Each structure stands twice: as C-alpha cells, then as structure tokens.
Amino acid sequence: MPTLPLWLEPVERLLDAGGAVLVVLAFVAVLVFGMAIERWWYYRVSWRRARRQLIHRWAARSDHRSWSARTLRDVWTEALVAKLRRPLPWIKLLVALCPLLGLLGTVTGMITVFDSLSLSDTHQARAMADGVARATLPTLTGMAIAVVGLLFISRLEHVIRREDQRLHDRLARALEEKDA
C-alpha cells in the first residue's frame, strides 16, 4: 500500500475512525468556523467604519425631517445592517446540516458493522461494540459542531439586533447634536 504524504495522515485517521462522512463534517466545520471568524473580523473592523461613515453622511444632510429624508435614512440603515446579516442564512443552513450528516454517518457505519458481522462466523461482542462506537462518532461530531454553531448564531443575532438599535440611536443623536 502506498504511503500517504505526512499532511494527509489526519484525513486517513478520520476515515479510519468514522468514515467519509466525518471528513465531510470536518469540511463543514471549517466552513462554519471560517464564516464565524470572517463575521467577527467584519464586525470589529469594517462595520464600525461603515457605521461612522453613515452617521457622518446623515448628519451632513440639510434635510432630516421630510418623508423622503426619513425613508432614505431607513434604506441606508437597512442596507448597512443587511451587510452584517448577509452570511447568517448560510451559517444556519450549515449548522442544520451537521446533525443530519452525523446521523448519515451513524447509519452507514451501523450498516457496515452489521454487514461485517453477518459475513464473519464469530459474533464477538467486542467487535460489535467497537463497530458501534465507530459508527456513533459522526453523530457526536455533528452534534458538537451544531451546538457550537448555534451558540455563534445566537450571539451574532444578538449583535445584529443591538447594532441595529445603536445605529438608529446614533443617527437620532447626531441629528439632535446638529440642531443644538
């Protein structure tokens, strides 16, 4: 059997431990946590700069009281908050997919266990227990990724609601400071 490069050994161990579904789960986890890091970076760097620019643009306007000015302010704020919210549906989809992929890995693993037990003449309890443990590893992994992803989604939704309210408050405060 040809030897794999050193950097592929973890993938080989994943395949041995839980099957191909575990590799797919690892890929999904990388996507979810990559999106989480990207959102954190966007919030810490780009969002604050864009929020300041919007407040300055709103304060620089001469008309703040007309219907069209208020509509323009709402459109600007909704567009800016939508940028903060943009990857949230994708993250939710990937998080919802994790337990399903884990269950798929468990079902395929159990099929493999029962298939190998039916082919062998010995029905050893130890072999079956080892196979069941390997088969449940994808479910555990999928649930762990989903729980951490749900925590991130909850935090991101909280930040979005808070920042939406702060943006409206700061726009109103900028208008009050200009009038004073």
pLDDT digits (tens, 9 = 90+) for 162-173: 999 999 888 888
pLDDT digits (tens, 9 = 90+) for 68-77: 988 999 999 9
Most confident of 6-10, 13-17, 95-99, 126-130: 95-99
pLDDT above 70 (res 138):
yes
Domain edges within the chain? 32-179
Q: Which residues contact 159 (CB under 8 A, 6 or more apart)?
A: 43, 84
Please give the Cα distance from 3 to 33 (Å, whole number).
31
Q: Which of 22-26, 89-93, 154-158 has the lowest mean pLDDT?
A: 22-26
Structure tokens that stand for 52 in this block: 């300041």
Average pLDDT over residues 109-127: 73
pLDDT digits (tens, 9 = 90+) for 91-111: 999 999 999 999 998 888 888
Three-state SS across 8-44?
A: HHHHHHHHHHHCHHHHHHHHHHHHHHHHHHHHHHHHH
User: Which contacts (CB < 8 Å, 24+ apart) does range 38-46 have?
Assistant: 38/87, 39/84, 39/87, 39/156, 42/83, 42/84, 43/84, 43/159, 43/163
pLDDT grade for 133, boundaries at 50, 70 and 90: confident
pLDDT confidence of residue 123: 62
